[in-house]
A and B are shown apart, each in its own frame.
Chain A
Amino acid sequence: MMKQRNWLLLAVMLAAMLVFAACGGGASNAPAGNEAATEAPTEAAAPAEEEAPAAEEAATEAPADGSADAAATEAPAEEAAADASSGASGDAVELRMTWYDDGAEGAVMRDLLDRFEADNPDITVIMDTVPYATGILETLPIQLAAGEGPDMVRVTDLGGLSPFFLDLTPYLEDPAYWEENFGPFLTWLRQAGDESSIPGFMTQLTVTGPYVNKTLFDQAGIELPAGDATWEEWAEVTRQVAEATGTPFAMAMDRTGHRFAGPAISEGAKYFDAEGNPALDDEGFRKMAQLLIDWHADGTMIPDVWMGAGGSYAAGNEQFINAQIVMYMSGSWQIGQFNEKIGDAFDWVAVPNPCGPAACTGMPGGAALVGIADTEHPEEVARVMAYLAQPDVLGEFYGRSLFIPGHLGLAESGVEFVTDSPLTADALTVFAAEVPKLNEVAYELQGYRFNRAIFNATSDRLTQVLVGELTLDEAMTRIQEDVDKAIAEAQ
């Protein structure tokens, strides 16, 4: 009897332990949702493996791709120690900045923040570097909706997340400077009807456009087409190059409706009706869709990117880096990665966007660093943002990160890009020259609040056509329905 009672008592204890275990263990400084945020006193987070398009589309990617990339960086240990000794760190406000990396810009940002912290010992900024797809696209919106977001975050869904952004205006010494230098891009960050808030600034302006493997052209003895060549002409020429050099495929395009949009607009796609509502089924859209289908059917385009990715974003950068394709339609954010990974293995060059009957345009886009309205320290957030937005600081960020500036003053005066590679410098020049050529529809689409619904529906439904699940007619109907349903749900 005694023995039985003891066992029962043991059971109670185990149950109590379970309860304590379930209730405890949650005390952490890491903000909700930031994956494996470790406050490593290192200089920089490891760059994400995934290439995160600094832009735009509702990209989703296998979590395994970048799940290990989550990391947090903080001020160097020496500085922390110095702060502690001076008694400053005890009063320091800790701000969390959620970040993702396309290349090495996280290290540059950390460097700039370290300098800020040295001058402002009352503020500490911890960078939580997360994978782009799972961290920024999937988790962040839920964090923000739950009021558990960070103090600052680098985002690409500029309009979609705008309800959560902090208006820095009351805390800024010179709001006019922001209007003057970030004005056109601030409209992307504002909610409908808002014409005055200042939520943040662009960490980069991006333009979509193609890269080609120039070495393969040289080996094939074929000249690069002229700047006004059409998509069909490019397809033909790259096919010839692929054939002559034994390259497996002529072309690749990132699997996203955003990358598709530039060529479609060039072919005449309008995307919106006269009232400004999405209206996707037109001749231009169909023309580009048919080209995409034909290029997959005849083996011009590598099938792995669009057909092999299921329902998610996929990039062809690895295939281009490995010289498996001649031409790769992506965007300016790849420059840093190509500079690093291709180096001088072959000559890679950015070329102007091919033309269609309506335009020769890519798509604009970009990433912005914004404050979050739920922050408990709006004043400190504004101080950090104001520091980073200074022309010399931001210029250094753009220059070292090899990003096209999203600051009008710097765009005009020019940024000194830190690179020894003439290929990299040339590519930056080509993409910068694409900015004035961007079509009005492209700007309208980029600024549209529900553009992600359009981009997602485009890539998902066209993929179904490529694998034979839908006809193009069915796909066009479904794309419009998907977009309408998404907008209805959001409204």
Chain B
Amino acid sequence: MTQKSGSYSSPRRSVGEMIRAFFYEIYAFIMNLADVVLTPLQRVIGSRNMAYFFVLPNLLIFGIFVLFPMLLNFRYAMTSGTGLFLSDRPFVGFANYRALLNCTNFFDPNTCVEDRFWRAIWNTVFFVGFQVLGMVIFALVTALILNRGIRGRGFFRSVYFYPVLLSPVVVALIWKWILQRDGLINAVLISLDQERVNFLLNADWTKFWVIFVSIWAQMGFYMLILLAGLQSIPADIYEASAIDGASPWQDFRGITLPLLMPTLFVVLVLALIRAVQVFDQVYVLTNGGPGTATFYMVQYIYNTGFSGQPQRFGLAAAASVLLGLTLLIFTLIQLWLGRSSEAV
């Protein structure tokens, strides 16, 4: 009556079991085949070094498609001219960096040689400041609400997450249609006998809407992270505080916020890095306009390197190195703060 382990010869096997057995046999065959190569290899390089062998393919891909272009970019940043290949481009040392950083007053782009670069920087600083702040606040509030036992909680979670699934281009086109002169909002305003508002022609309105749309599109992602953080807080702590008569605000300040802080920190850093990289959505929605009101760093790099004539690859590469350094600083701060909090 006893059946041997690993035997699949029972006549009473279901179709599912047969399919499973079939795939298992294929899997076992391939594994044994791999053994033929890997066992001798392990003997030669040692079992500890096998890890490097497994990592090698990924490292190769990373090296070819990320590391090498990055190093190439450093080199391009020190060249000038319109030639595409490095051999056709004269070496100019740090001239591109000097041009980018040549300002009488860094706070007034009009005094800078590359004024558009500095407009892009200050626009990016403004965008990052308000967008990240708004994003974290809205994501936190939404997560707190959806963490409560409200009716239709699953539905609302899906609704708030849905924009994350949309392409940034689609998001921008939707909102362009809503905000333009003959868009949805103006149609409503006119139907209410109100004045038409040119949202995309007024610098202040455009700055507001670019931030708003960005928060709308990405908030669901950060909300989910925070929701996971909230749900990891043990319920008995709240029960204890309820027994002690703590108010909801005291709960939030004394329990939720401190225990959520590591998650909140991750959200903050992720949102910050993503905000600095803002491009596609704004490019479609306003294309940097009106004037340069929503002209950000990545668009400066893109315009300088690709859409301007002549295409100034060297200057664009130098600007991208500076942007990379900025992101590196953010990442290092994140690591430092992360380690500090671990130490605490």
Chain A residues with a Cβ under 8 A of chain B: 5-6, 8-13, 15-16, 18-19, 22, 58, 60, 62-64, 137-138, 141-142, 145-146, 157, 160, 303-304, 307-312, 450, 452-453, 456, 463-464, 466-470, 474, 478, 486, 489-490
* Interface positions of B from 56 to 84, Cβ below 8 Å from A: 56-58, 60-61, 64-65, 80-84
Q: By the criterion CB–CB under 8 Å, are B110 and A486 in contact? A: no
In whole angstroms, how far apart are the Cα atoms of A204 and B50 in the complex? Answer: 65
A15-B57 CB under 8 A given contacts A62-B284, A307-B291, A467-B293:
yes
Q: By the criterion CB–CB under 8 Å, are B61 and A308 in contact? A: no
In whole angstroms, how far apart are the Cα atoms of A8 and B173 in the complex? Answer: 46
Partner of B38, one of A12, A18, A310: A12
B169 at the interface (CB under 8 A from A): yes
10 contacts between A and B (CB under 8 A): A5-B31, A9-B34, A19-B57, A62-B287, A142-B311, A311-B299, A311-B303, A452-B309, A468-B291, A469-B292
B335 at the interface (CB under 8 A from A): no
- Contact pattern, B 187-231, Cβ under 8 Å of A = 1, otherwise 0: 000000000001011010000000000000000000000000000
In whole angstroms, how far apart are the Cα atoms of A468 and B54 in the complex? Answer: 58
A138-B306 CB under 8 A given contacts A9-B38, A467-B291:
yes
Which residues of A sit under 8 angstroms from B314, Cβ to Cβ?
Answer: 489
Which residues of B sit under 8 angstroms from A489, Cβ to Cβ?
Answer: 80-82, 310, 312, 314
* Interface positions of B from 89 to 131, Cβ below 8 Å from A: 110, 115, 119
Q: By the criterion CB–CB under 8 Å, are B201 and A18 in contact? A: no
Q: How far is the CB of A461 from chain B (nearest CB, A)?
A: 10
Q: By the criterion CB–CB under 8 Å, are B81 and A486 in contact? A: no
Which residues of B sit under 8 angstroms from A137, Cβ to Cβ?
Answer: 307, 309
Q: By the criterion CB–CB under 8 Å, are B34 and A453 in contact? A: no
Partner of B201, one of A157, A307, A490: A307
Which residues of B sit under 8 angstroms from A5, Cβ to Cβ?
Answer: 31, 35
Listed residue (A10, A12, A453) with the most chain B CB atoms within 10 angstroms of its CB:
A12
Q: By the criterion CB–CB under 8 Å, are A308 and B290 in contact? A: yes
Which residues of A sit under 8 angstroms from B173, Cβ to Cβ?
Answer: 64
Q: By the criterion CB–CB under 8 Å, are B288 and A160 in contact? A: no
In whole angstroms, how far apart are the Cα atoms of A415 and B85 in the complex? Answer: 45
Which residues of B sit under 8 angstroms from A13, Cβ to Cβ?
Answer: 30, 34
Closest 8 CB pairs of A and B: A310-B287, A310-B289, A467-B291, A310-B288, A145-B84, A15-B57, A58-B309, A452-B309
Q: By the criterion CB–CB under 8 Å, are B31 and A312 in contact? A: no
Which residues of B sit under 8 angstroms from A19, Cβ to Cβ?
Answer: 57, 60-61
Which residue of A is nearest B306, CB measured?
A138
Which residue of A is nearest B83, CB measured?
A145
In whole angstroms, how far apart are the Cα atoms of A137 and B311 in the complex? Answer: 11
B283 at the interface (CB under 8 A from A): yes
In whole angstroms, how far apart are the Cα atoms of A452 and B50 in the complex? Answer: 57
Which residue of A is nearest B314, CB measured?
A489
* Interface positions of B from 143 to 171, Cβ below 8 Å from A: 169
* Interface positions of B from 10 to 47, Cβ below 8 Å from A: 27, 30-31, 34-35, 38
Q: How far is the CB of B111 from chain A (nearest CB, A)?
A: 11
- In the complex, besides A311-B299, A464-B291, A490-B310, 15 extra interface pairs with C-beta distance below 8 angstroms are A6-B31, A15-B58, A19-B60, A64-B172, A146-B85, A160-B310, A308-B289, A310-B286, A310-B295, A312-B287, A312-B307, A456-B309, A467-B291, A478-B115, A489-B312
In whole angstroms, how far apart are the Cα atoms of A489 and B200 in the complex? Answer: 34
In whole angstroms, how far apart are the Cα atoms of A257 and B333 in the complex? Answer: 45
Which residues of B sit under 8 angstroms from A62, Cβ to Cβ?
Answer: 283-284, 287
B308 at the interface (CB under 8 A from A): yes
Which residue of B is nearest A478, CB measured?
B115
Q: How far is the CB of A74 from chain B (nearest CB, A)?
A: 29
Which residues of A sit under 8 angstroms from B288, Cβ to Cβ?
Answer: 310-311
